Chains A and B, each alone.
Chain A
Amino acid sequence: EAQVTQNPRYLITVTGKKLTVTCSQNMNHEYMSWYRQDPGLGLRQIYYSMNVEVTDKGDVPEGYKVSRKEKRNFPLILESPSPNQTSLYFCASCRLGGTYEQYFGPGTRLTVT
């Protein structure tokens, strides 16, 4: 089954404790991205990647890191989480060169206390 998976689905952590949210897709998509969703602000893109070892900043990259060492994986790293990073996070992927229809993961609800 074609899918994007994220782990963990829920995470409560404390300020400053490094964490990684994993994202994996099994569709051989070149493009992957991370969004955060906050009430009243909609979906905001954090980082995206056009292919392996190619990443770029989205609209709200501060406080986040990503890596793309393999085509299928695109982890989101919070080196020193802060309460303003409490949010619902989504990973998405799509094939390049087509219509760019996005496939979304189920989401990771992160709470930073």
Chain B
Amino acid sequence: AQRVTQPEKLLSVFKGAPVELKCNYSYSGSPELFWYVQYSRQRLQLLLRHISRESIKGFTADLNKGETSFHLKKPFAQEEDSAMYYCALSGLSGSARQLTFGSGTQLTVLP
């Protein structure tokens, strides 16, 4: 069965400090991994896909197949990064494209 685990429900850091949101997964096959973000009073939106290997808003995430992890990192957190972050995975084929979400991590960046 596929599963995504985000061990931290809440995470607080000070502005300018590094931040890492943890995500581990289990999947029998080759999944695609995502990070979605939901800012206050906004809809869920895609932040990162592991396949694109981009850095968005200073965030990066590397897929580690050995550790089955996809941690989200940013070297210098900003107050506007405060939001709910969800790690998610999907299969690669058309019939397996539904997302399996972790329970989410509420990030608060303190001034």
Partners in one complex: no
